[in-house]
Amino acid sequence: MIANHSFKNRIVIISFVLALLLAVNVMPPAAANQVGGIVQVYIANTDDWQSYQNHGTGILRQDDNVAGIQQALLHTNIDVTSSVSLNAVAHYYPDGEQQLGFSQLSMQYKPLSPNKIKFKARAGFFYPRLSLENVDDGWLSPYTYTQSAINSWVGEEMRTLGLEFSIYSPGRARRSPWSWEVVAATFKGNDPLGTIISWRGFAMHDRQSLNNDRVNFAAYPTVIDTDFIWHPDYVEPFHELDQRWGFYTGLHFRYFNQTSLRYYYYDNQADPLAVNSQRLYGWRTKFHSLSFQHKLDNNTRLISQLMSGSTVMGLKYVYVDFDAWYLMLSHQVSQHRISVRYDRFIVSEDDIFPTDMNNSDGYGLTLAWRYDLNDNWQLGLEQHFNKNSAQNRAQLDLPVDANQQQTLLVAQFRW
């Protein structure tokens, strides 16, 4: 399986390089090919709860006092025609299971139109635009390194492999302070979405899953027992297992550029009885997401998101309701940005196997200071605390409750 992974990785890298070469050579104006990148290196001081990435139950990305690469990504936007562009984000991660690959690869169609109500569409592999936190290049957060519980989950398990259509109306062209957009999408894949939060619970990190990635979690005995649930201690979230189409629909409202509101309803329509040879299941995952941003003034903003949903696997072998929200305040003073975010996340079960415990919950507090030395270089310091509990830690003879903390010192270079 690992060999298969690395083969697929190679195919992905070769495709990306070929796509870039093709774009550079075929498209007449060289400037039309916009390539940029971000590299972050970090020094971490973290507690020793073994990370989910190393099959532990800790909800942070690191579990050791180490230094390394936090992010290394290339993003490109290539104009194919006046209306069509290719967007790609390729990453290198030293941690996790897939080191090289894409987090996003899509074509966008956005024709010029004199109409007050316009149309645009995307096709490929991309994020639904739920988040008002992940607004930097490569879907990174410009506010904190450790992202909200909601968007940590979106980054690790959710991606649209399909088509997204939007009808939108920019307010200024209508002489109105209000802009709006209606979004509808349909997609394949992403059938195992929900697996990780049902067993591990929500986590807090910035490790995005790549196109063919695998996310590890602890080998809970009830999960891996071939006479019980019989599921591996990992999920590969982007598999198509049942040939069904998922969908989501969204509404965006914006008042000037000051206040934004986004509502999404998401349903992957997965067949909870679908299972593949790896014993990965379809998880029928549905949720509502409401995101909000308000700029109190030119330097200060409030950002918040609420998510509420459920997921079911098998004949209700696992059924959980999940709820999470965060509230962030971010303030910029000259070249400095200071952000503080409070997170709350709860997963509660109501299924036929109470011995396979799924209840988990937690709180998080994240404080970050990021300083732009110039257009290319940025320094940042983040302190994160969380208090989380997961009942299934008892299966591994671990305390149910964990207090975790992490200090990150990060240097970033972008071009």
Partner 1 sequence: MKFIKKIFWLGSAFVCINAQAIPVTFDVISNQDSPVFQTVVYLEPDGEVEIAESKKQVAVMDQVDRQFMPHILAVQKGNKVVFPNSDSIKHHVYSFSPAKQFELKLYKGSDAEPLLFENQGEVELGCNVHDWMLAYIWVVDTPYFAKTDQNGKVTIDVPSGNYRVKVWHPRIQDDLEGLTQEVSINAPTNVSFRLKQKLLQDLSFYEQAADKLTDY
Contact set with partner 1 (CB under 8 A)? 29, 31-32, 34, 77, 79, 82, 110, 112, 114, 129, 134-136, 142, 168, 170-173, 175-177, 179, 256-258, 260, 295, 298, 375
DSSP-assigned beta bridge partners for residue 309: 287, 322
Report d(CA 395, CA 219) in Å as an integer: 10
| Minimum distance, C-beta of residue 105 to partner 1, in the bound complex (Å) | 16
* 381 Rama class: left (phi>0) / alpha (psi -120 to 50) / beta: beta
Provide the minimum distance between the beta carbon of 254 and partner 1 in the complex, in angstroms, as a whole number: 8
Residue 59: CB minimum distance to partner 1, A: 26
Q: How far is the CB of 197 from partner 1 (least distance, A)?
A: 24
Alpha-carbon gap, residue 7 to 98, rounded angstroms:
11
CB 45 to partner 1: min, Å: 28
Nearer of residues 83 and 407 to partner 1, judged by Cβ? 83
- What is the smallest separation between the CB atom of 159 and partner 1, expressed in angstroms? 16
Closest approach of Cβ 114 to partner 1, in Å? Answer: 4
Tokens 């009830």 label which residue?
A: 222
Residue with Cβ nearer partner 1 (294 or 344): 294
Question: Shortest Cβ distance from residue 318 to partner 1 (Å)?
Answer: 34
Sequence-ordered list of residues with C-beta below 8 angstroms from that of 370, at least 6 positions apart, any chain:
142, 143, 336, 337, 339, 378, 379, 380
Nearest distance from residue 383's CB to partner 1, in Å? 22
For residues 350 and 372, which CB has a smaller minimum distance to partner 1 in the complex?
372
Q: What is the three-state SS of the chain?
A: CHHHHHHHHHHHHHHHHHHHHHHHHHCCCHHHEEEEEEEEEEEEEECCCCEHHHCCCECCCCCCCCEEEEEEEEEEEEECCCCEEEEEEEEECCCCCCCEEEEEEEEEECCCCCCCCEEEEEEEEECCCCCCCCCCHHHCCCCCCCCCHHHHHHHHHCCEEEEEEEEEECCHHHCCCEEEEEEEEEEECCCCCCHHHHHCCCCCCCCCCCCCCCEECCCCHHHHCCCCCCCCCEECCCCCCCCCCEEEEEEEEEECCCEEEEEEEEECCCCCCCECCCCCECEEEEEEEEEEEEECCCCEEEEEEEEEEEEEECCCCEEEEEEEEEEEEEEEECCEEEEEEEEEEEEEECCCCCCCCCCEEEEEEEEEEEEECCCCEEEEEEEEEEEEEEHHHHHHCCCCEEEEEEEEEEEEEEC
Distance between CA atoms of residues 373 and 395, nearest Å: 48
**Shortest CB 124 distance to partner 1, Å:** 16
Q: Which is nearer to partner 1, 81 or 226 (CB)?
A: 81
Q: Which is nearer to partner 1, 295 or 344 (CB)?
A: 295
Judged by CB, which is closer to partner 1: 12, or 74? 74
At closest approach, how far in Å is the CB of 380 from partner 1? 15
C-beta closer to partner 1: residue 181 or 236: 181
Q: Which is nearer to partner 1, 173 or 315 (CB)?
A: 173
For partner 1, give the closer residue by CB, 54 or 257. Answer: 257
Q: Of the two residues 2 and 31, which places its CB atom closer to partner 1 in the complex?
A: 31
Identity of the residue, 33 or 359, whose beta carbon is nearer to partner 1 in the bound complex: 33
